[in-house]
Amino acid sequence: MSRVTRETADGMRWMLLQKCTLQPVTLVYSMVLARLLSKEEMGLMGLTAIFFTAAGTLAASGFGSALIRKQNRTAEDADTMFWFNLGMGFLIALLFFTSAPWLAAFFAAPQLCNLVRASALIVLLSSVVSVHMAHYMARRQFKEPALICLGSALLAMPLCLVLAWHGWGVWAYIVQGIVSASLTAVLFWCLCPWRPRLKFSPASFRELAGLGCRMAATGMLDTAYIHARAFFIGKVYSPAALAGYKNGAQLAAMCPTVLCYMLDQITYPILSTLQQSPQKLAGVYRRYMRLFTLPIAWLCFFTAAFAAPIVRVCYGPGWEEAVPYLQILSISYATWHLQIINLNLLKAAGPPKLFLRLELVKKCLGVAILIGMFFISVEAICWGALATSVLCLGINTWATRRYMGIPLLPQLLDWAPTFALAAACTWGPALLLVTRSEWLALACGLPLSAALYLGVLRFTAPSVLRDTFRLLSKR
């Protein structure tokens, strides 16, 4: 087994342990919350999540990715990044604290003021562990971060449910976030051997600032864009409408984000080590495209085909408005992993300014589509998200061909046939299993669809199927 394959398999093993343990627990957690909180409270929870997700992205800056990319990193680089990130964390927390009344007035939700102020503490806690995370990721050591994040989440979630049961409402979610961030910070500082020194190198800052700030801007653009729909739905429509959208979006994202999070964390440091070998880099890139399209395409199309029974099982009656949102957004998430791999390839070996320019173009395009769909309906906004996803994939594919020399047709052949097969093997059984029992539809549809998909792949793409199982089993 090659070094790249071994490191990818090791990273997948630990990331899958983290996500495949956490995602079922998160699903049960959201199912219980949907029954304990009102739609308005769920909407407020969604708005609060937008703010501290955006703040966390800003607080982490882009210096973690810049440090990972730099092959001859020094102790001064790490020290400089730590103190800069800590300072950014204080500034962003202060900004949130002072702007909270304005945000509450903007959404006509007075209770949002204290919720946003409390979330500022989460920003500070997140800013003190970014270098520790980069320390592990740069060395392709995925075990410790996976176990730390998993343990913190599993310990904090039951506390949230207990508080929600006792009537704490949205504050149960805030307390959970603070407890989880605190545990993560403590565990990283206890387990990671690296410690910051009281040093700040202007030379290191100048070297890392160019790439780091561009990556921070890209991350912030991406975060703002992802949450822009929820932000404006909460403003123009209502917190209840936002709750329906968020529940559909959460179910749509749950399965693909397991592998996409893993992809983002694993492929970037590995591709960065191959930046001096263009031919090998292109081969590893195309292999990632084929391998990860195999499970993600089926997961997304299955979720879309069986959206109605999935929503009824997860959230119960009264949440049917989430069904069309789930169907449309699931299909849009089917291309997310392709965009992540493309961007990680360009970040690892492309021109330093390219990925920021691409993100600006794509986000402007997405905002234009969002504005066009916004005042029609929430469902129209979801259709706009699907159209944007397809267009962004086209832009990324063009950039990979233009700057990395990978032809367009081979890129399309790496994933397009798998998409068509996944659609046929999921929507076919869904149309056959039209029943009033959601449990029966899922119990029969899941094995039937999976058997059809794997059976056809066994004869049409045996090498890709074999490579996927070999990677997962680390043989």
| pLDDT band at residue 122 under the 50/70/90 scheme | confident
pLDDT band at 4 (very low <50, low <70, confident <90, very high): low
DSSP codes, 286-298: HHHHHHHHHHHHH
Among candidate residues 288, 264, 302, the one with its CA nearest the CA of residue 142: 264
Banded pLDDT at 368 (limits 50, 70, 90) = confident
Three-class secondary structure assignment of 226-244: HHHHHHHHHHHHCHHHHHH
For residues 243 and 321, the answer to whether their CB atoms sit within 8 Å is no
Q: How far apart are CA 366 and CA 225, in angstroms?
A: 8
The helix (run of H) or strand (run of E) holding residue 161 is: helix 143-165
Answer whether 403's CB lies under 8 Å from 351's CB: yes
- 77-86, 164-173, 218-227: the lowest-pLDDT one: 218-227
Q: Is residue 218 within 8 Å of residue 360, measured between CB atoms? A: no
Which pLDDT score, from 0 to 100, does residue 18 have? 63
- Say yes or no to pLDDT of 315 above 60: yes
Tokens of 84: 């800069």
pLDDT average, residue stretch 21-25: 69
More confidently predicted of 167 and 281? 167
What torsion do the CA atoms of 409, 300, 56, 111 make, to the nearest 10 degrees?
A: 140
**Average pLDDT rounded to a whole number, residues 222-239:** 74
Name the pTM for this structure: 0.67
Residue 418 has pLDDT above 80, yes or no: yes
pLDDT of 475 over the 50 cut: no
What whole-number distance in Å separates Cα of residue 164 and Cα of residue 438? 28
What share of the chain in percent tops pLDDT 90? 3
pLDDT value of position 430: 84
DSSP, collapsed to helix, strand or coil, labels residue 474 as coil
Q: What is the pLDDT of residue 194?
A: 81
What is the overall mean pLDDT for the chain? Answer: 77
Banded pLDDT at 436 (limits 50, 70, 90): low
Lowest mean pLDDT among 256-270, 367-381, 452-466: 256-270
Stretch among 76-85, 152-161, 274-283 having the lowest mean pLDDT = 274-283
Tell me what percent of the residues of the chain surpass a pLDDT of 70: 76
Higher-pLDDT residue of 375 and 451 is 451
> Which band of pLDDT confidence, cut at 50, 70 and 90, is reported for residue 377?
confident
Contacts of 58 (CB under 8 A, 6+ apart): 88, 92, 216, 220
In which band, very low, low, confident or very high, does the pLDDT at 328 lie, cut at 50, 70 and 90? Answer: very high
The alpha carbon dihedral of 153, 158, 162, 167 has a sign of positive
CB atoms within 10 A of CB 254: 21
Count of residues in the chain: 475
**Out of 19-33, 91-105, 332-346, 375-389, least confident range:** 19-33
The mean pLDDT value for 75-91 works out to 81
